[in-house]
Amino acid sequence: LGTRAIPPGGWQNKEYTISDGRIKASSIAEVYWASGAKDAVIDCEIDGYTQDGALVLTCETVPEDDLIIDIIEIRNEVVDNAV
């Protein structure tokens, strides 16, 4: 998923949702923040989780400025049930 800005007003109840049908609850998401956003990401304690159809970012404190994401890498792992 490409570059995007997360404005302070985009957070709802300390969550910001990025919707995309390729995301599954079992997906692994790597968020690559722009260098100028990294301090705010740490200070605001931003984390996240996946659910079917979305990556949900959570925070302890809503950032005061836009946060820029350079790219989000989504990996959907293949489960091998072979014994």
Residues 75-82 have a mean pLDDT of: 73
Residues 51-79 have a mean pLDDT of: 93
Q: What pLDDT band is residue 63 in, cutting at 50, 70 and 90? A: very high
* 77 vs 12, more confident: 12
How many CB atoms lie under 10 A from the CB of residue 46?
Answer: 21
Residues 45-73 have a mean pLDDT of: 96
What pTM does this model have?
Answer: 0.87
The pLDDT value given to residue 77: 77
| Single-letter amino acid, residue 71 | I
d(CA 80, CA 60): 37
